[in-house]
Amino acid sequence: MSKHTEIDELIQAIVGGEAHLSVSLAERLIAKGLTIESLIQDGLTAALQSLNAKCTNEEFNLLEIVLAGRAMMAVMDNVVARYLSPSKTVVSEPDRTILLGTIEGDIHELGKHVVKMLLRSSGYRVIDIGKDIRPEEFVDRAIQQNAGYIGVSSLLTPTIPSIRRIKELLHKAGREDIKVIAGGGAIQQTTKGDLNVDFVARSAFDILHYLKNLKSEA
């Protein structure tokens, strides 16, 4: 069976909420040489995205979406976690510390979990402050925790004004040195100017490339 067909099979298993099957299909794909990046993007994220139509005001199938989310997380915890390099010594310096949360009005957090896992396995100190978080809290907590970065996740378009506020508040506090990175479905078509942030990540891996580039520029 081609890798392409097997990814489709994995997508079907996740959409069907079959956690055990999803884990074994993902393991087989990795054993055949699929990269972790492709597993996350073309398998896990694509599976959840295909549930788009089940998550509208007209049709809202909570059970189906929740089961698919669990199957996705089972693959993250049982397969992806094993293949990511074990977290190196975590340094709590600002340029290795990221405060991560989902913006106010939004309770989506599967994408945030993926980002957290990837960053931690790359040696970053990640402070996850949860979902439905006010811009003020992002800023206060980032300052308290001595974080060099704020990672803000959003899957709902109406949250954009709140995202824009984070940088305004940082400016008021005289802390524009803290960089704001936004990611998540709702904002992938926007620019950093639209969101008033330093970087818009198109995927969880994008933030790793961004941080690496910043380091090599420094």
- 151 touches ligand B12 (CB under 6 A): yes
Alpha carbons 46 and 72: distance in angstroms, whole number? 11
- In Å, how far from its chain's centre is CA 196? 19
Backbone angles phi, psi at 181, to 5 degrees: -120, 125
Stretch that binds ligand B12, among 6-14, 89-97, 100-108, 133-141 (CB under 6 A): 100-108
From the list 149, 33, 43, the residue with the least C-alpha distance to 97 is 149
- 43 touches ligand B12 (CB under 6 A): no
CB of 166 to ligand B12, least distance (A): 12
Instruction: Give the footprint of ligand B12 on residues 179-198 (CB under 6 A).
Output: 181, 183-186
Among 22, 97, 121, 153, binds ligand B12 (CB under 6 A): 153
User: Which residues have CB under 8 Å from 107's CB, separation 6+?
Assistant: 131, 132
Element of type H or E holding 199: strand 199-201
Alpha carbons 215 and 218: distance in angstroms, whole number? 5
- 60 touches ligand B12 (CB under 6 A): yes
- 115 touches ligand B12 (CB under 6 A): yes
Residues that bind ligand B12 (CB under 6 A): 40, 44-45, 48-49, 51-52, 55-57, 60, 62, 65, 69, 105-112, 114-115, 151-153, 155-157, 181, 183-186, 201, 203-204, 207
